[in-house]
Amino acid sequence: METNEQLIALLQKEGYLKTQSVIGAFQAIDRKDFVPADLPDKAYANEALPIGEKQTISQPLVVAFMLEILGVKAGEKILEVGTGSGWKTALLASLVGKDGEIISIERIELLSERAKANLSKYGVVESGVVELVVGDGSRGYPEQAPYDKIIAAAAADKFPEVWKEQLKIGGRIVTPVGNSIFVVDKITKDSFEQKEYFGFSFVPLVKG
């Protein structure tokens, strides 16, 4: 895979990328801008890649799958847990547009700083669409709650219940749990609907 277009074509062919808005975000954001400089040849491979600190930039098919399920609309306010390289952050920023808001929390300060540098090409931190926070996302981020959507990039055995409280009614959580992706819809203040999609792999969600 040598170009972003080839990667997109593959993800469409395999059925991971479907809707025009998510395809448009993948076209607008070049994955190479988020891959370490010593791995440029791998930027468009459908693989997770090391970004330092024992973490990875997510596999494209996983990001495509999660963003399709998240169903982002322009203007939404979204909490992302696990900024990593900032790639998914940039895709989310593209999806919500200039009236939206992405709060992205990362526990490793060095990765958050690198993500900020990676994102600078797109001006989304400077414009105020993206706010990067260094901290423990397993407690969510109550300071800015409630959110239309919450998306996580790291897996726990069980996802933190507190995320449900920080979600608006009608909102959705998409998160890894073990080797699955869970989709949780908030129907009323205390009723939820949950679906599980099997067969993925993630780095661990670390508490504290």
Q: In the complex, which residues of this chain contact ligand SAH (CB under 6 A)?
A: 55-58, 81-82, 84-85, 87-88, 105-108, 111, 136-138, 153-154, 203, 205-207
Closest approach of ligand SAH to the CB of residue 75, in Å: 22
Nearest to ligand SAH of 57, 174 (CB atom): 57
Closest approach of ligand SAH to the CB of residue 189, in Å: 25
Nearest to ligand SAH of 85, 175 (CB atom): 85
CB contact at 8 A, 185 and 202? no
Residue 6: other Cβ atoms inside 10 A: 11
Nearest to ligand SAH of 175, 186 (CB atom): 175
Nearest to ligand SAH of 47, 193 (CB atom): 47
Closest approach of ligand SAH to the CB of residue 66, in Å: 9
**What is the Cβ-side half-sphere exposure of residue 91, based on CA atoms within 13 angstroms?**
28
Q: How far apart are CA 155 and CA 168, in angstroms?
A: 22
Nearest to ligand SAH of 38, 190 (CB atom): 38
Catalytic hit among 58, 85, 112, 138: 58
Residue 105: other Cβ atoms inside 10 A: 23
With 0-12 / 13-18 / 19 or more C-beta atoms within 10 angstroms meaning exposed / middle / buried, residue 115 is buried
Asked if 21 is an active-site residue, the reply is no
Q: Give the strand order in the sheet containing 167-177.
A: 130-134, 101-106, 77-81, 147-152, 167-177, 180-188, 191-197
Closest approach of ligand SAH to the CB of residue 191, in Å: 26
Closest approach of ligand SAH to the CB of residue 59, in Å: 9
CB contact at 8 A, 73 and 106? no
- C-alpha triplet 160, 163, 167: angle, nearest 5°: 160
**What is the Cβ-side half-sphere exposure of residue 35, based on CA atoms within 13 angstroms?**
20
Q: Which residues are catalytic?
A: 58
